[in-house]
Chains A and B, each alone.
Chain A
């Protein structure tokens, strides 16, 4: 499924383009989240929630929705058309999207509000929010962690897509985040660090979250080490491959590259916009 999600992402980079690198890094996080964490048979106030705070990776979200049967595949063809609502950031006109995002550092707070209400009502809902690593620059993320721990929101799990880049810069070259586990631990969180492309590691991490929830209080943090551009060697871990708009021929080559058939030759310039 992750491979098919990556195919969707690559196709969405044609024409007007998309944030391809950050989309490719969080594919396993989204696929795992919707397949194994979110219990989709639960409804109304008993629901589980997955909030995507790093909204620019929305192609990965929509690709996952298509593969889960939540979103009609033909709608991805409406990317950047004013006739639909498939654009560079998520919005609730698209089925499955919990909340709009795009401005960074917002959804940890929104998720904490949801988690608090689940606690107040005595529910066993799971509330997950996926953030970027550059997003951790925003003070609002850390404010949320302080408050969420003050209220003992052990039903909240923050998953950090730790792909090492923010826009066109390495995080450690700009505003260093490491040692990141220690920072979250010092704020009172239960922290795990895993390979974010490894489904077994994700399975173990979320099993630990469930087990811990019965004995401990505190926000769960899963730092998922990932590779920006994962799956496409010509894009992987490259600062300049952030927002990309490719030609149809380039997209064809990248799809081949995804399946290991060739290495793509990319001519299109990347754009700098957030």
Chain B
């Protein structure tokens, strides 16, 4: 089952669900025919769409809202914070092509601060599935929660057979004495392959698919810091406010020290191009990840 099939099935079974988009139908091509009046396309009007979503939620609806991740999270940010956040309404935000998935679009379309800004809204939950199977496994719990939520939509197929999603919990793929890789979203696949390469070098490697960035699985981070010589955070996000920051916050809260290596985009937008070349240029292929990690091994 893919994202759209799950969405339509869920909406057909639950009258409260309405599907909205600011004229981006990539994920919901078949929703207009299936859902009729409960499919609402507001045109290229991100702010108005969020305001309307809040209004619909006030009437008991659960709007599942679509736009490209940068325009959804940033164009409409104050509307999300004020209309959805302050009222704590169950509006479910689906951000399309987050992070590297915007490939050749350029900085205007790069959502690489979305985790930072969305988790800054009180009560807003933030999720980043590893692949489409992980996404579909996580969504039922997220859509049925009363909280507002932002999802980094990842529609890419993955190779890993995931464990069932437990709300607010990370997926611990392995534990390792030498290194623990902490990753979310689309880069999980490359981290998984990097783990194999590092193990071939004789290292004991842990891998954690974070899944839920807010609420975050504090126990998973604390345990990894206790059990591994070094934590490596991997993210297609600016360094500020993303997973590296989250790990730092959790460690400080638990009064722990750890060696933490951030593999992020630092403080710059990435070079646009076709996805494979972007990963190569920015150093996020499995081989490039290993190169950067082996410096510390």
- Please report A residues at the B interface, Cβ cutoff 8 Å: 15-16, 55, 80-82, 85, 87-89, 91, 100-105, 134-135, 137-139, 166-169, 174-175, 271-274
Contacts and interface: CB of A to CB of B under 8 A. Distances in A.
Contacts of B48: 139
B68 interface: yes
Which range contains the number of B residues in contact with the other chain?
20 to 34
A88 B106 contact: yes
Contacts, number: 95
Contact of B23 (A101, A105, A174, A271): A174
A138 B49 CA distance: 11
B43 A272 contact: no
B268 interface: no
Contact of A138 (B44, B109, B280): B44
B278 A175 contact: no
Nearest to A273: B26
Contact of A139 (B25, B45, B97, B108): B45
Interface SS, A side: loop
A88 B272 contact: yes
Interface in B256-289: 271-274, 277-278, 280-281
A273 B23 contact: no
Interface string B35-51: 00000011111011000
23 contacts: A80-B273, A82-B272, A82-B278, A82-B281, A85-B271, A87-B104, A89-B106, A89-B109, A100-B108, A103-B75, A104-B44, A137-B43, A137-B44, A138-B45, A139-B47, A166-B23, A166-B43, A169-B41, A174-B41, A175-B43, A272-B24, A272-B25, A274-B23
Given A82-B271, A174-B23, A91 B104 contact: no
Given A103-B109, A137-B44, A139-B47, 11 more contacts: A55-B108, A80-B104, A81-B273, A82-B273, A88-B105, A102-B105, A102-B106, A102-B109, A138-B44, A139-B45, A274-B23
Interface in B133-185: none
Interface of B: 23-26, 29, 41-45, 47-48, 68, 70-71, 75, 96-97, 104-109, 271-274, 277-278, 280-281
A167 B24 contact: yes
A167 B22 CA distance: 11
A102 B45 contact: no
Q: Which 6 A-B pairs have the closest CB atoms?
A: A102-B108, A175-B43, A82-B273, A137-B43, A137-B44, A87-B272
* B43, B96, B107: residue with the most chain A Cβ atoms closer than 10 Å: B43
A85 B274 CA distance: 12
A137 B42 CA distance: 9
B106 A274 contact: no
A92 to B, nearest CB: 11
Nearest to B22: A137
Given A87-B106, A137-B23, A175-B42, A272 B29 contact: yes
Contacts of B273: 80-82, 87
Contacts of B96: 273
A167 B108 contact: no
Given A82-B281, A103-B109, A274 B43 contact: no
